[in-house]
């Protein structure tokens, strides 16, 4: 009875609520999801496109399952729909545009289970022709106009470009399907303008055709001004130039006019309709004169360059002699290399020396003489004629310092038979300095010192100490005469040789208890460091530094342990080590020990003799007693 009531209730529920689907207690699986593009994946602009999403689902019941469909373009969600039917989802793209191009996919979600289709690409070809409009088509120079470029019916990200003839003059991205740009034209005449656009669909872009061409007529606001320069030719330095800058046409009084007359970067004068200026012509800076007329933002320019003949050339200041020493006589000569003889006599040229407190005095036109100072001094020559003043380049006179008497010395050590470096040096004197090494009357070598840190060193070798005193050096720095040093006075180190070891007393007659003297002697320059060794030991037995060529070592109270071979080593500042021959020493017994041993030996012999005598006598007595008994 209960089961019957339940079935009846279920049937009535389906009858009265046909839209309600019961999903409870159903098992299902999503077998496949596909997306198709109708009528085709490749269509032309304006086609009605349908995206069909089809899902194949298997379930255990007959009731339809609730489904959620989602359409994606790339990674962006573009449409979502919930349905309780198993029918395909249809997503319409009416009147498709290029902006609709892209990859699409659909996803189905049933009670948490999801499946996404493979992506399909829709390509829409064809863009509308852009339309260009201007708010004015007849304008004055630099007058602002507004141009509007429209992409009819297009959507998406649109980038606009404007062209004058074939040259791009403006670009920008529109917030909709049109873009406004403001222009001013400075070129007079007909300007042909068109536009185009591109729809950006990353990573691609689709370009439109060119728009209609609009002719903008640009009228001249005013003409170029007039620039006149008098005189027009044969202009020399010192001539007065009259420069006139005027407007060419009359302008409405309401227009604010400005005229500017410039020479290079210098503004000479300014005015409204006429500017007049006078200037002295200079050959060094003829430059370019410019007349500029401005009305509002519009300007017109005319320029002229004049050619100015030099009246006289800039003077040149020279010195003689080329090398000057302190307090010596010198002469400065100032002269212009050329002058315009048709306008100027050479006598009209005057020369002066700056600064005015110069120690030199004029001795002729452009010639100045005097003594050189002790320090550097700057001189400039000034040439004048007909109001034109020209300066020479600054001449710096650097008086040289005569070289002082050089000092000669040994650089390092003077070792006999080895290379010796002789140093020659002057305390004062301008570089470069030439140093010459002389031995007796013979020139050995010459060296030039050009740097303050450079040393004049000469390498020689001597075989006798007295040779060193024959060296001198001469220093000169292009002065009248060189300076000669005194003779070289330095100690000569003679290397050591012939090292001998002498032993007192005679090595063959050395006895215990005696004192032994070992004497080391050599040839060479002291101080000498002597070391005494015994063969078989590494460390020296004795070390002594002597200011003489010999030394002695004392070994007191000899014993047998002192026997062995001995030798000397010696070294001096020449750093050459010499070694003596090895001498053998044998320490004998003392005399009293020999006497005691001899006495003991005699005593032992005497005792043995007595014992033998007594022994033989006892033997003889025994034999005689036996004979008597036998008788």
Question: Which two tokens mark 104?
Answer: 């699409």
Indicate the helix (H) or strand (E) that contains 11: helix 2-16
CA distance 116 to 72: 10
pLDDT band at 543 (very low <50, low <70, confident <90, very high): very high
As a three-state string, the secondary structure of 160-226 is EEEEECCEEEEEEEECCCEEEEEEECCCCEEEEEEEEEEEEECCEEEECCCCCCEEEEEECCCCCCE
Q: Which residue has the higher pLDDT, 257 or 15?
A: 257
* Mean pLDDT value across the chain: 85
Residue 534 burial by CB count (10 A; 0-12/13-18/19+): exposed, middle or buried? middle
Contact residues for 571 (Cβ-Cβ < 8 A; gap 6+): 496, 528, 529, 577, 578
Question: Which two tokens mark 108?
Answer: 């189905």
Residue 20 has pLDDT above 60, yes or no: no
pTM of the model: 0.47
Contact residues for 38 (Cβ-Cβ < 8 A; gap 6+): 49, 50, 51, 52
Q: Mean per-residue pLDDT for 167-190? A: 89
Contact residues for 108 (Cβ-Cβ < 8 A; gap 6+): 30, 33, 53, 55, 67, 68, 69, 70, 114, 115
pLDDT at 251: 52
Q: Return the bridge partners of 35, or none.
A: 53
- C-alpha 558 chain-centroid distance: 77
Mean pLDDT is lowest, of 154-168, 347-361, 477-491, 525-539, for 477-491
Backbone angles phi, psi at 280, to 5 degrees: -85, 130
Residue 26 has pLDDT above 90, yes or no: no
pLDDT at 254: 62
Residue 146 has pLDDT above 70, yes or no: yes
Contact residues for 588 (Cβ-Cβ < 8 A; gap 6+): 509, 510, 511, 512
User: How many Cβ atoms sit within 10 Å of the Cβ of residue 87?
Assistant: 9
Q: Mean per-residue pLDDT for 561-581? A: 90
Q: How far is CA 191 from CA 184, 426, 467, in A?
A: 11, 84, 102
51-87, pLDDT tens digit by residue? 999 999 888 877 778 899 999 998 899 999 999 888 8
Indicate the helix (H) or strand (E) that contains 5: helix 2-16
pLDDT at 421: 94
pLDDT at 359: 84
412-421, pLDDT tens digit by residue? 888 888 899 9
Q: How many CA atoms lie within 13 A of 201 on its CB side?
A: 20
CA distance 341 to 80: 101
288-302, pLDDT tens digit by residue? 899 998 887 788 899
CATH number of the 407-484 domain = 2.60.40.10
CA distance 268 to 92: 75
Buried b (16+ CB within 10 A) or exposed e, 13-28: eeeeeeeebeeeeeee
Tracing tokens 């004497």 back to the chain, one arrives at 519
Question: Which two tokens mark 416?
Answer: 């006999």
Of 480, 489, 330, the C-alpha closest to 408 is 489
Q: Mean per-residue pLDDT for 82-109? A: 91
Q: Mean per-residue pLDDT for 534-543? A: 89
Backbone angles phi, psi at 630, to 5 degrees: -70, -30
CA distance 178 to 128: 12
Domain 131-219 has CATH 3.30.365.10: no
Q: Mean per-residue pLDDT for 591-613? A: 68
pLDDT band at 324 (very low <50, low <70, confident <90, very high): confident
User: How many Cβ atoms sit within 10 Å of the Cβ of residue 124?
Assistant: 24
Q: Mean per-residue pLDDT for 335-357? A: 89
Same fold, 226-309 and 497-591: yes
pLDDT at 15: 38
Question: Which two tokens mark 427?
Answer: 């305390």
**Positive or negative torsion for Cα 333, 336, 337, 341:** negative
Q: Which residue has the higher pLDDT, 433 or 62?
A: 433
Q: Mean per-residue pLDDT for 349-361? A: 88
Contact in structure between 377 and 446 (CB atoms under 8 Å): no
- Domain regions of the chain by residue span: 25-125, 131-219, 226-309, 315-397, 407-484, 497-591
CA distance 117 to 37: 13
User: How many Cβ atoms sit within 10 Å of the Cβ of residue 479?
Assistant: 17
Residue 12 has pLDDT above 70, yes or no: no
pLDDT at 559: 83
Contact in structure between 393 and 317 (CB atoms under 8 Å): yes
pLDDT at 592: 55
Instruction: Using alpha carbons only, give the angle 515, 518, 520 rounded to the nearest 5 degrees.
Output: 160
Specify the CATH architecture of the domain 25-125. Answer: Sandwich (2.60)
pLDDT at 21: 41
Residue 607 has pLDDT above 80, yes or no: no
Q: Read off the DSSP letter of residue 74.
A: T
Of 351, 390, 425, 415, the C-alpha closest to 572 is 415
CATH pick for 226-309 out of 2.40.30.20, 2.60.40.10, 3.40.50.300, 2.120.10.10: 2.60.40.10
pLDDT at 522: 94
pLDDT at 204: 82
pLDDT at 346: 84
572-598, pLDDT tens digit by residue? 988 889 999 998 888 877 655 656 566
Specify the CATH architecture of the domain 497-591. Answer: Sandwich (2.60)
CA distance 101 to 161: 22
CATH fourth-level superfamily of 315-397: Immunoglobulins (2.60.40.10)
Tracing tokens 């009531």 back to the chain, one arrives at 5
pLDDT band at 473 (very low <50, low <70, confident <90, very high): very high
pLDDT band at 156 (very low <50, low <70, confident <90, very high): confident
pLDDT band at 13 (very low <50, low <70, confident <90, very high): very low
179-209, pLDDT tens digit by residue? 999 998 888 889 999 999 999 888 888 899 9
């Amino acid at each position: 009875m209960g089961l019957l009531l339940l079935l009846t209730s279920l049937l009535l529920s389906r009858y009265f609520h046909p839209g309600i689907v019961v999903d409870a207690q159903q098992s299902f699986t999503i077998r496949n999801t596909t997306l198709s593009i109708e009528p085709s994946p490749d269509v032309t602009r304006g086609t009605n496109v349908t995206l069909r999403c089809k899902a194949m689902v298997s379930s255990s019941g007959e009731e339809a399952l609730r489904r959620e469909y989602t359409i994606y373009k790339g990674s962006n969600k573009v449409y979502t729909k919930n349905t309780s039917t198993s029918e395909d989802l249809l997503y319409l793209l009416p009147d498709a545009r290029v902006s609709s191009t892209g990859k699409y996919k659909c996803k189905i979600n049933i009670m948490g289970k999801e499946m996404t289709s493979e992506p399909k690409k829709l390509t829409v070809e064809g863009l509308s022709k852009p339309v260009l409009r201007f708010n004015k088509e007849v304008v004055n120079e630099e007058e602002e106009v507004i141009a509007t470029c429209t992409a009819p019916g297009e959507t998406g990200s649109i980038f606009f470009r404007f062209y004058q003839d074939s040259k791009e003059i403006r670009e920008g991205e529109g917030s909709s399907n049109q873009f406004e740009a403001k222009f001013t034209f400075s070129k007079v005449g007909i300007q042909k303008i068109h536009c185009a656009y591109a729809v950006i669909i990353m990573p691609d872009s689709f370009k439109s055709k060119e728009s209609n061409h609009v002719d903008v007529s640009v009228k001249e606001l005013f003409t170029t001004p007039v620039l006149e320069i008098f005189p027009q030719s044969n202009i020399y330095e010192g001539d007065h130039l009259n420069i006139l800058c005027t407007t060419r046409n009359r302008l409405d009084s309401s227009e604010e006019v400005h005229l500017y007359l410039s020479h290079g970067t210098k503004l000479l004068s300014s005015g409204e309709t006429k500017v007049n200026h006078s200037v002295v012509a200079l050959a060094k800076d003829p430059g370019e004169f410019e007349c500029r007329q401005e009305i509002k933002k519009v300007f017109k320019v005319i320029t002229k360059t004049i050619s100015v003949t030099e009246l006289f050339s800039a003077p040149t200041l020279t010195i003689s002699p080329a090398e000057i020493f302190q307090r010596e006589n010198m002469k400065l000569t100032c002269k212009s290399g050329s002058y315009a003889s048709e306008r100027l006599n050479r006598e009209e040229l005057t020369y002066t020396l700056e600064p005015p407190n110069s120690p030199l005095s004029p001795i002729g036109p452009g010639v100045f003489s005097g003594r050189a100072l002790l320090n550097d001094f700057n001189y400039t020559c000034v040439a004048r004629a007909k109001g034109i003043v020209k300066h020479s380049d600054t001449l710096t006179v650097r008086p040289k310092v005569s070289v002082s008497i050089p000092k000669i010395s040994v650089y390092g050590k003077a070792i006999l038979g080895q290379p010796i470096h002789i140093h020659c040096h002057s305390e004062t004197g301008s570089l470069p300095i030439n140093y010459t090494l002389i031995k007796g009357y013979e020139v050995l070598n010459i060296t030039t010192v050009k740097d303050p840190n450079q040393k004049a060193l000469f390498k020689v070798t001597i075989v006798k100490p007295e040779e060193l005193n024959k060296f001198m050096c001469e220093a000169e720095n292009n002065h009248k005469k060189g300076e000669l040093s005194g003779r070289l006075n330095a100690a000569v180190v003679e290397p050591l040789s012939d090292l001998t070891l002498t032993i007192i007393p005679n090595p063959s007659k050395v006895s215990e208890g005696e004192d032994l003297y070992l004497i080391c002697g050599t040839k060479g320059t002291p101080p000498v460091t002597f070391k005494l060794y015994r063969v078989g030991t590494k460390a020296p037995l004795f070390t002594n530094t002597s200011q003489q060529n010999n030394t002695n070592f004392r070994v007191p109270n000899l014993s047998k342990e002192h026997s062995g071979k001995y030798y000397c080593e010696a070294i001096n500042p020449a750093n050459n080590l010499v070694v003596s021959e090895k001498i053998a020493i044998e320490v004998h017994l003392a005399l009293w020990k020999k006497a005691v041993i001899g006495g003991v030996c005699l005593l032992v012999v005497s005792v043995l003799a007595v014992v033998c005598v007594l022994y033989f006598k006892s033997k003889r007595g025994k034999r005689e007693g036996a004979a008597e008994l036998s008788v």
